[in-house]
Amino acid sequence: MTKALEIIIVGKEKLPQMDLSINGGKGYNPLHELMRAIILRAVDDFHTKSGEVREEAIEYMESEEEEYIFSFIAICKHLGFDPAKTKYAIMNAQHRISTRRRAA
């Protein structure tokens, strides 16, 4: 056994940690993070922007497109959300929806 492996196994050295709550405790998944970022951008554009940017966010959330992997419906389904309920919750939120990731 190598010295580096020994240190990792016996826990004498702290290794970088990942947020295992991502993806239901299955670990970090870049595709899920990208999808999450797309949805959060739409939320942010809808609630904090005006004019054309806000209209584009509305169009994105109201689109019936399901085949495109990054469509609102496809992302919601992939992440296990009901698209209609998610859209309703975003568009009718009574308080600001946080789009920032909490520090680990």
- pLDDT per residue as tens digits for the range 18-59: 444 455 556 678 888 899 899 999 999 998 888 999 999 999
Question: Is 8 inside a domain boundary?
Answer: no
What pLDDT was estimated at residue 23?
A: 56
Q: Give the structural domain span for 79.
A: 20-91
| Residue 2 clears pLDDT 60, i.e. is over it | no
How many percent of the chain have pLDDT more than 70?
A: 68
On whether residue 96 sits in a domain, the answer given is no
pLDDT of 16 strictly over 60: no
40 occurs within a structural domain: yes
Residue tagged 């010295």 (tokens) = 3
* 6 lies in some domain: no
Q: Is residue 63 part of a domain?
A: yes
> How many structural domains compose the chain?
1
Task: Indicate the length of the chain as a whole number.
Answer: 104
Distances 28 to 20, 41, 71, 75, 103 between C-alpha atoms, Å: 7, 20, 21, 17, 15
- pTM for the model: 0.68
Domain membership of residue 24 (yes or no) is yes
pLDDT recorded at residue 96: 74
**What span, in angstroms and rounded, lies between the C-alpha atoms of 33 and 35?**
5
